[in-house]
Amino acid sequence: MIKRVFLTFLLLVLSSFVFSQNISKKYAEKLYYEKKFQESKEILDQVLKANPMDGVAYMDRAAVRMELNELDEALADINKSIELSPYSIKPFLCRSMIYTKFTNYEKALEDINYVLSKTPLYPSAYNQRGYIYLLLKDYRNAYEKQE
């Protein structure tokens, strides 16, 4: 009986923690869309302090750090996200965008081509790849690689 009560209590505590983390991440997302990037980052810092294994929160903070032009930190966050969630495609798209800002187009294309190899119907990846080719002034590939 004591085990059952303890397990019920533990489940309630854990579900409360997860629920509060989700509310915090949603609030950080809201702040991001309101272009309140510093405030969004501070909330995500708290989320990650409470749960350092949250790959999605690292990806979200990487996006915020890109907006704050903290590119080295954004790259570290996105790499951590990929480490924690290696089968998720979205962090690879985000890392491609970071590499593009670093003008490391070769690595950016590697990530985008990886995304497209796993999800060939991902329009954002085609847009990103076309944008990279445009920056490289490779207009033929920018046009032809959109299909």
* CATH 3.20.10.10 for domain 1-87: no
pTM: 0.81
Kindly list the domain boundaries of the chain, sorted by start residue.
1-87, 89-147
The answer to whether 1-87 and 89-147 have equal CATH topology is: yes
What is the second-level CATH architecture of the domain 89-147?
Alpha Horseshoe (1.25)
Query: What is the C-alpha separation between 36 and 2, in angstroms, rounded?
Result: 47
Ordered alpha helix ranges (H), the chain: 2-33, 37-50, 55-67, 71-84, 90-101, 105-118, 123-135, 139-144
**pLDDT tens, residue order, the chain (147 aa):** 566 654 554 444 444 444 345 668 888 999 999 999 999 999 999 999 999 999 999 999 999 999 999 999 999 999 999 999 999 999 999 999 999 999 999 999 999 999 999 999 999 999 999 999 999 999 888 877 655
